[in-house]
Amino acid sequence: MIKKLFKRVFGKAARTKMEGRCHIIPFEVHGVSRDGISPAARRVTGGLQAAGYKAFVVGGAVRDLLLERHPKDFDIATDATPEDVRRVFRRSRIIGRRFRLVHVMFGEETVETSTFRRMIEAEDAQTDEHGRLLRDNEFGDQEQDAARRDFTANALFYDPASQEIYDYHNGYADIRANTLRMIGDPAVRYREDPVRMLRAVRLSAKLGMRLDAATAAPIAGMKELLGNVPQARLLDEMLKLLLSGHAVECVKKLRAMDLHHGLLPMLDVILEQPLGEKFVMLALENTDQRIREEKSTSPAFLFAALLWHEVLADWKKLQDAGEKPVAALHKAMDDVLGRQQVQLAIPRRYDAIMKELWLLQPRFEQRGGQRPIRLLAQPRFRAAYDFLLLRCESGEANEELGLWWDEFQDASEQRRAEMLLPDEAPKKRRRRKKSSAEAKPEAVQIVLPIE
């Protein structure tokens, strides 16, 4: 195996051309055919090259093809300016303010095309007081564009016309050796952009690549720098991580490297509660599984799961202090979401769905009268039921409850009638309503947004 690898990397090296500091690796060595490139991406590189520009597929797609994985998308790098690109492709638009990219449209597919960029040299770089780069949007040449990228495996350029790979940083050998290695001095590169620490964890987990020792070493001492990264960017990276299809692996690595602090602040607390940890891990496993099966996943479901035990703890505390169950649940939800808002900036747009999922949980307990039928008709029933199953599996909710709902949803009308439990609650509620017209609603379903 090692011998074979050696032969592949070095044995055919004679056929690898050098152009300046760039290795040009021919198809016979790397074996990635242009058929692996989407037709739209090929039309972009072809169109730009026909107009006299350089154009390559770059970054994650080249890496994924070499690893025999299916690329998510195909990014193009070129020496044409955004205006040049616009002139070549009529159906395109310039996007982005900080760094302008061009989206070139072919039917359904949009191909992101960016002009070679360079890293700003140390003396004229704009950094914050911790060394984080605030500006990296100068045009550059291909070699400079390779150098500003994070990992050697992410800095390869593929030319669909010649089927050659342009490699400035030995990324090809690193990929063949299954190693994720930072370009340049890792400590400097993490200081420029601390998110690279999270990318190291995510990409090594997702791709099953070993993190090079020198690349991993500085992380332990630099993790505090993540605190200076804008919240929106952290959240973006967290979502990529949680929805990578390898969330369990990623979270384990984050914990092993002690990087989870400050990312999902409550994750620390939750992971320390035995039931909480089990539940969170099950939710992540479930999400990974769904992504692998190409089923839909929603960030709101995942966030609702991550925070559930926090909600439960607050809910219990408030009830112990004498609050009524429903009012206590509402207050607990608002408190937990409020705290996350400050620390993680989970966008408000997820709040409504998270609350719905949480509010529907106590309703699964109510198995009398018409209430189970009404619950089944809730648009969010399916997601709430999946959530319940996770609760059952983690041991927080009674397994029998999950089984009951499993049978009830598909049961005949007659079987459903047999299954319904004796119903007492509505009578109580009617009595209470009579005694006070303004009485606060007591049963969970009354306060649900959709009923």
What single-letter DSSP state applies at residue 318?
H
- Is residue 150 involved in binding ligand ATP (CB under 6 A)? yes
Among this protein's residues, is 159 annotated catalytic? Answer: no
Contact 142/165 with Cβ under 8 angstroms?
A: no
Tokens 């459903």 -> residue? 416
In b/e form, how buried is each residue of 173-196, taking b as 16+ CB within 10 angstroms? Answer: bbbbbebbbbbeebbebbbbbbbb
Nearest distance from C-beta of residue 168 to ligand ATP, angstroms:
12
Nearest distance from C-beta of residue 73 to Mg ion, angstroms:
6
Nearest distance from C-beta of residue 112 to Mg ion, angstroms:
9
Tokens 């409850």 -> residue? 401
CA geometry: angle at 239 spanning 238 and 241, to 5°? Answer: 65
Contact 235/344 with Cβ under 8 angstroms?
A: yes
What gap in Å lies between CA 103 and CA 162, rounded to an integer? Answer: 24
Nearest distance from C-beta of residue 325 to ligand ATP, angstroms:
43
Q: Which partner in ligand ATP, Mg ion, none is near 193 (CB below 5 to 8 A by kind)?
A: ligand ATP
Contact 24/164 with Cβ under 8 angstroms?
A: yes
- Is residue 60 involved in binding ligand ATP (CB under 6 A)? yes
Q: Which partner in Mg ion, ligand ATP, none is near 65 (CB below 5 to 8 A by kind)?
A: none
- Is residue 169 involved in binding ligand ATP (CB under 6 A)? no
What gap in Å lies between CA 330 and CA 319, rounded to an integer? Answer: 11
* 206 Cβ contact partners less than 8 Å away, ≥ 6 residues apart: 244, 245, 246, 249, 250
- Is residue 186 involved in binding ligand ATP (CB under 6 A)? no
User: Segment near ligand ATP (CB under 6 A), from 3-11, 27-35, 192-200, 436-444?
Assistant: 192-200
The residues in 46-85 that bind Mg ion, with binding defined as CB under 5 A, are 60
Closest CA to 419 of 379, 384, 362, 369: 369
Nearest distance from C-beta of residue 440 to ligand ATP, angstroms:
48
Residue among 64, 75, 314, 351 flagged as catalytic = 75
- Is residue 90 involved in binding ligand ATP (CB under 6 A)? no
Among this protein's residues, is 75 annotated catalytic? Answer: yes
- Is residue 138 involved in binding ligand ATP (CB under 6 A)? no
Among this protein's residues, is 167 annotated catalytic? Answer: no
Residue among 64, 79, 145, 150 flagged as catalytic = 150
User: Segment near ligand ATP (CB under 6 A), from 126-134, 147-155, 302-310, 338-346?
Assistant: 147-155
How far from the centroid of its chain's Cα atoms is residue 350's Cα? 15
Residues that bind Mg ion (CB under 5 A): 60
Residues that bind ligand ATP (CB under 6 A): 59-60, 72, 75, 149-150, 154-155, 193, 195-196, 199
